[in-house]
Structure 1
């Protein structure tokens, strides 16, 4: 029996390592009422020092919120980020939760590529300066303390609280970005987005694009009006974003194209003039879950953190683990 249990655990670990999106599905199995959050100490791998350090839960959360959301945002937006951050770490601390196999002995890493960013008090001082430090530190501390023990659940299970900077007007379905789907990670309209500069442009010569994508656009004949037509959307997501884009003779997932070209989002349009192509993107990030600039806009309109979270995470509840 022990051997069978061991083999099952090994299987889960292999799935998480080989398929990161499996952790999204695994998170849906976890019951929330298994650890008192205020009693918990977080073992965090500091990716800058290479050391594992233990932090009280609230100190960890304060560092995450400070790293992940501008401290100038309204306090209700910061509260929403704090609850999302608490939900994320609790997934990794409840019995049977999402394991951190890359850094044995740690619950989580401070590397944002592996989960949530985190900064220390010293880094906060350097980032904000001595004048703003006290204001911002206690503002974020209030956001964490006033949501004590609260997490996000869907049908009594902890959710995977995906978030991003700016959706550009509407969030995306999880299954259109990753391999896994989740009933609470569905695209929603976002008329609240308070991003002051949602649109960005990046220009490449066709030769530069050929080099990055291994295409042959620079040899494509130019048609009337000095406009070439080798680029088109072949598939859209359920919310209308490009899902697959054909460039020359090759077709790319929009998520892959974003990564290769260093674009800010998959909400992409383009224009070709002469031997150059300009990509225009709206928003910043993968577009799934909580939109941080949308949270800012909702808070500015008088919405509280629960209303913010329940807008971006479909059908969820905010519950206390304490």
Structure 2
């Protein structure tokens, strides 16, 4: 009796807060099929956990995209997340996987981020957890089984937070051409703070990049210490020349911890001040751009087809 009272009280609270769709979702009797099982390596427990595909996708979306984003953007992220893991499972797992017996892990620097339901509660708080979890779960359920394909095969659905107005061609960032990863305009990017500055001590830049900035002739001028010798199609630095050494902008970004490859710099005393635009590598789906497209009436399929050129959306359950 006490349990029934608590459940009734919770549903009433959700309705009072203006979340009837959450309450309705909780009241609906649902029998969820387990479907495909993902073998997920958890760094926290140092173990491989078995989790259903759709539960895995839910945890990825919660980790990788702000839950306040529109549902259509969350759906696009869900399809991308599902495609990522299905591509790896179809291939039989990564050949050089760091975690034996796992399809993927929960480290976003290695694969996709992932949040358990307990971690979601810690991130959002007890009350917002119910709102955000069921919002994300609905986005996952509404796209259940859907993946992005190119010529019948799952794509590598890379994404980033903010592109600064235009995404990049894959070969301009990673040196290999991918037909569905072409640069496109991003007209509605909603990043509230796309331009950032980061000051790094000159000796730290030297150590990180393995260069000697002090050896450059003073007569050459500070502006000539670092030169852009190749640019991307959108005008970002692609290859830099530092002390007669060619180094990619992607390597500079990685080693210095810059927010993006769209950067400029200036020297001030013993500091190098980098100014970056956007956040991430700039290839594939721009998350803040997806948010903007959704806010302008585009659905998730239109968002996906905007950022991934010439792709199709198929269901893995269709034979």
Runs of 4+ in structure 1 off by over 6 angstroms are none
Q: How many residues align?
A: 285
Residues 214-223 or 119-128, more deviating: 214-223
Deviations for 1:185-207, whole angstroms, at most 9, x for unmatched residues? 11111121110011111123434
Partner residue of 1:271?
266
In structure 1, which of residues 149, 156, 174 is the aligned counterpart of residue 152 of structure 2? 156
Partner residue of 1:229?
224
- Is the 8 Å Cα contact of residues 227 and 273 (structure 1) preserved in structure 2? no
Deviations for 1:135-191, whole angstroms, at most 9, x for unmatched residues? 000000000000011110112211111111111111111122224321001111112
Pairing 1:124–2:120 present: yes
In structure 2, which of residues 50, 56, 60 is the aligned counterpart of residue 54 of structure 1? 50
- Is the 8 Å Cα contact of residues 93 and 103 (structure 2) preserved in structure 1? no
Deviations for 1:61-93, whole angstroms, at most 9, x for unmatched residues? 110100111111111100000000111111122
- Alignment map for 1:7-156 (pairs within 5 Å): 39-94=35-90, 96=92, 98-99=94-95, 101-156=97-152
Cα shift at 1:271? 2.0
Deviations for 1:262-291, whole angstroms, at most 9, x for unmatched residues? 111100111234443211011111111111
Pairing 1:253–2:248 present: yes
| In 1, Cα distance between equivalents of 2:291 and 2:38 | 28
Pairing 1:290–2:280 present: no
Q: Secondary structure in 2 aligned to 1:92?
A: helix
Question: Looking at CA atoms only, which structure, 1 or 2, has the larger radius of gyration?
Answer: 2
Q: Secondary structure in 2 aligned to 1:135?
A: helix
Partner residue of 2:27?
none
Gaps of 5+ in 2: 1-32
Note closer, same or farther for the CA distance 1:100–1:68 as it changes in structure 2 (3 Å cut).
farther
Q: Secondary structure in 1 aligned to 2:174?
A: coil
Cα shift at 1:39? 1.8
In structure 2, which of residues 171, 176, 188 is the aligned counterpart of residue 180 of structure 1? 176
If the length of structure 2 is used for normalisation, what is the TM-score? 0.83
Cα shift at 1:115? 1.2
Note closer, same or farther for the CA distance 1:170–1:274 as it changes in structure 2 (3 Å cut).
same
| In 2, Cα distance between equivalents of 1:181 and 1:67 | 29
Gaps of 5+ in 1: 1-36
Cα shift at 1:103? 2.0
If the length of structure 1 is used for normalisation, what is the TM-score? 0.83
Residues 117-126 or 249-258, more deviating: 249-258
Partner residue of 2:276?
281
Deviations for 1:236-257, whole angstroms, at most 9, x for unmatched residues? 1233211111233332111111
Note closer, same or farther for the CA distance 1:204–1:156 as it changes in structure 2 (3 Å cut).
same
CA-atom RMSD in angstroms: 2.1
- Is the 8 Å Cα contact of residues 245 and 253 (structure 1) preserved in structure 2? yes
| In 1, Cα distance between equivalents of 2:81 and 2:201 | 41
| In 2, Cα distance between equivalents of 1:228 and 1:201 | 18
- Is the 8 Å Cα contact of residues 265 and 283 (structure 1) preserved in structure 2? yes
| In 2, Cα distance between equivalents of 1:205 and 1:41 | 47
Partner residue of 2:186?
190
Note closer, same or farther for the CA distance 1:138–1:179 as it changes in structure 2 (3 Å cut).
same
Cα shift at 1:229? 2.8
